[in-house]
A and B are shown apart, each in its own frame.
Chain A
């Protein structure tokens, strides 16, 4: 009913400051909701993307007894025949890209200081077809640096945070120490061929990347591998579950295959729990918005008892009076959502396109060094629904109070 909407609109405009404050509370609620969703989902997406491009292949093969201990990077329960498995899988699965890695703990010795690190042994050529470390080299000539690493003697790549900690630069010599497979002490010196900025703190802050053969010599592991990593040629869309099924049919019982979701199970569970917490915060914000709107509308009802009674006297039915207040709530909700849309779009676009750099920040210990927002326009849709829901819910009680007024008594009062 157009007349009712006109009346509701003018009622909202009647107390401009009060309405503006209520609208602002809705705006702030939606702004917080949209921004936090963008940031948190962005962190989640960036983290997963960084893991997948540096460490977490679509499908990985581990020795069955290694998987549960994999976070400790042990030199036990390694895959003894990685090349044979790779050859078999390459012959059986179309378009597959496969590489192997050897991971173990070590220490970088600089002067008299030691810094704990993870050593990752990779096969440079095949690794770059499954992962993408080359692209994360901090140098304009990434290809040249990667070639130097691949072809040079005793060359290594090192995470940029770790390089900062040891004050290392390209060409510097570092000594990497470890306990070998046989628990013997071993230390070898390497030259820094390049510095990595992957966004994955496990690489950037803790890792030294060696060629597989060099890592194998350092750990005295006889060519054994910690893992075999599989992906599909870049032209093919990867379905991890299907790829895993193909792998399972072609490996023996001593090794097992895991999809990236299984590899990141703990992380994904943590993200899911954080999303639950995020939803609880959203509900809390909604309750705040509902309370704000209820307060405003209750004041409106108390101030306008005579008007409401007059409208009722001239024949306005109760449901129309409720409608009038609900329209007022909807106008407040939609206006609040519109304001939120206007003020949140620039920062969201900036975060999504430019990203926020956390390099040189202590935060990078646990988070990606650069995060990009993840925004879906459906957030606005849900935000508007939430705003209107909050506004309508906040309006219902005052509206019901309005229709319960004793018209005769109100009109009698002077």
Chain B
């Protein structure tokens, strides 16, 4: 296992009506590859901000973020988009599938962005991951014709189809019933084991806290506890 990502003295704040609201204060951590880490803490503690910074969706006020040996500070928007496409996968609380695309096309889309031009190669990759997440037979369905659990499986497939080094999951079970939530977590654990992909969660869900290999607790923008189980 190597280090896949790290924060060094990260500070982040938001400004509302010129009032500075600190969100993260001097945060430091390193993430190992093939790990399953959950950031937990009360609302406003900075969990989602950490995921956004790790996911190159936001930039820190100060500090250094290393992602797969790349210092992402100061990179252009296009380069950050490339890094997101090549190295990261995202799973959102409300699935965020593209409603006009079928399950197959949603999963295929990151491959098109990566300019994998051979249709058969794309098809093999998409069908393989859809098979792994157990919804191969739903490939032709639109998201609106699928249950929440099935949609989240498509989202997981989309996140994993390029075999990223890190998958960021923001409250992935918040919109699922307990049965679907349990199945989704089992699926992610299986993917972690099969594909050796690291998962980082932001969550309030005790189920995720129980199944994560490492739990980092945040409070008021600072890490107050970092425990490996």
Chain A interface (Cβ within 8 Å of chain B)? 1-4, 6-7, 10-11, 13-14, 306-307, 310-320, 407-408, 411-412, 414
Given contacts A312-B81, A314-B158, A320-B113, 10 further A-B contacts (CB under 8 A): A307-B96, A311-B98, A313-B90, A314-B84, A315-B82, A316-B113, A317-B82, A318-B81, A408-B58, A411-B52
**Residues in chain A near residue B92, CB distance under 8 A:** 310, 411
Q: How distant is the Cα of A414 from the Cα of B90 in the complex, in angstroms? A: 16
Contacts of A10 in B (CB 8 A): 100-101
Kindly provide the distance from the CB of A39 to the nearest chain B CB, expressed in whole angstroms.
41
CB distance from B122 to the nearest CB of A (A): 10
Closest to A311 in B: B98
Which A residues are in CB contact (< 8 Å) with B86? Answer: 315
- Closest residue of A by beta carbon distance from B52: A408
Q: How far is the CB of A87 from chain B (nearest CB, A)?
A: 81
A selection of 15 A-B contacts at a CB cut-off of 8 Å is A7-B100, A7-B101, A10-B101, A14-B100, A310-B90, A313-B55, A314-B85, A314-B90, A314-B109, A315-B84, A315-B85, A316-B113, A320-B113, A408-B49, A411-B92
- Chain B residue nearest to A11 (CB atoms) is B100
Chain A residues lying within 8 Å of B94, measured Cβ to Cβ, are 306, 414
Q: Are A313 and B58 in contact (CB under 8 A)?
A: no
Residues on B lying within 8 angstroms of A by beta carbon are 48-49, 52, 55, 57-58, 77-78, 81-82, 84-86, 90, 92-94, 96, 98-101, 105, 108-110, 112-114, 158, 170
Give, as a whole number of angstroms, the nearest-CB distance from A393 to chain B.
24
Chain A residues contacting B108 (CB-CB under 8 Å) are: 3
Residue of B52, B57, B92, B110 ringed by the most chain A CB atoms within 10 A:
B57
CB-CB < 8 A to A317: which residues of B?
Answer: 77-78, 81-82
Chain A contact residues, majority secondary structure: helix
Pairs of residues from A and B, 5 with the lowest C-beta to C-beta distance, nearest first:
A315-B85, A10-B100, A3-B112, A408-B58, A408-B52
B81-A316 in contact (CB<8A): yes
**Taking A312-B81, A313-B57, A315-B85 as contacts, is the C-beta distance between A3 and B100 under 8 angstroms?**
no
Residues of A within 8 A of B96 (CB): 306-307, 310, 313, 411
How many angstroms from the CA of A11 to the CA of B94 in the assembled complex? 20
Asked whether, in the complex, the Cβ of B78 is within 8 Å of the Cβ of A7, the reply is no
List B contacts of A3 (CB < 8 A).
105, 108-109, 112
A315 and B113 within 8 A (CB): yes
Say whether chain B's binding surface is mostly helix, strand, loop, or mixed. Answer: helix
Alpha-carbon distance A310/B113, docked complex (angstroms) = 13
* Given known contacts A314-B109, A314-B113, A7 and B98 CB-to-CB distance under 8 angstroms: yes
Q: How far is the CB of A200 from chain B (nearest CB, A)?
A: 60
Chain B residues whose CB sits within 8 angstroms of the CB of A11 once the complex forms: 100
Q: Report whether B98 and A310 are in contact in the complex, using a CB–CB cutoff of 8 Å.
A: yes
Partner of B48, one of A4, A13, A306, A412: A412
Q: How far is the CA of A320 from the CA of B115 in the complex (A)?
A: 12
Among A307, A311, A318, A408: residue with most chain B CB under 10 A: A408
B57 touches A411 (CB 8 A): yes
State whether B112 touches A1 (Cβ < 8 A). Answer: yes
Residues of B within 8 A of A411 (CB): 52, 57, 92, 96, 170
> In whole angstroms, what is the CA distance A315 to B100 when docked?
18
State in angstroms the CA–CA spacing of A7 and B109 once bound together.
10
Return A16 CB to nearest CB of chain B, in Å.
12
Look across to chain B and name the residue whose beta carbon is closest to the beta carbon of A8. Answer: B100
| Chain A hits for B82, CB < 8 A | 315, 317
A313 CA to B91 CA, complexed, in Å: 10
- List A contacts of B170 (CB < 8 A): 411
Structural contact, B57 and A408, CB atoms closer than 8 A: yes
CA–CA, A240 and B110, complex, Å? 67
Q: What's the least CB distance linking A312 to chain B, in Å? A: 7
What residues of chain B lie closer than 8 Å to A407, measured between beta carbons?
57-58
Return chain A residues, CB-CB under 8 Å to B114.
315
Contacts of A13 in B (CB 8 A): 100
Expressed in whole angstroms, the Cα–Cα distance for A311 and B101 within the complex equals 12
Across the interface, which residues of B come within 8 angstroms of A412, CB to CB?
48, 52
From residue A413, how far is it (CB to closest CB) to chain B in Å?
Answer: 10
A13 to B94 alpha-carbon distance, docked (Å): 23
B98's closest neighbor in chain A, by CB?
A307
B92 — nearest CB in chain A belongs to which residue? A411
User: How far is the CB of A6 from the nearest CB of chain B, in Å?
Assistant: 8
Of the candidates B105, B109, B114, B158, the one having the most CB atoms from chain A within 10 angstroms of its own CB is B109
A1, A311, A315, A320 pick with most chain B CB within 10 angstroms: A315
Closest to B96 in A: A310
User: Please, which residue of chain A has its CB at the minimum distance from the CB of B86?
Assistant: A315
How far does the Cβ of A299 sit from chain B's closest Cβ, in whole Å? 16
Q: Which residues of B contact A414 (CB under 8 A)?
A: 93-94
B106 to chain A, nearest CB (A): 10
**B110: A residues at CB distance < 8 A:** 314-315
Provide the residues of chain B in CB contact with A2, threshold 8 Å.
112
Max chain A CB contacts within 10 Å: which of B48, B96, B105, B110?
B96
A319 partner residues in chain B, CB cutoff 8 A: 78
Bound form: Cα–Cα A4–B98 in Å: 12
Task: Determine the distance from Cα of A310 to Cα of B85 in the docked complex, in whole angstroms.
Answer: 12
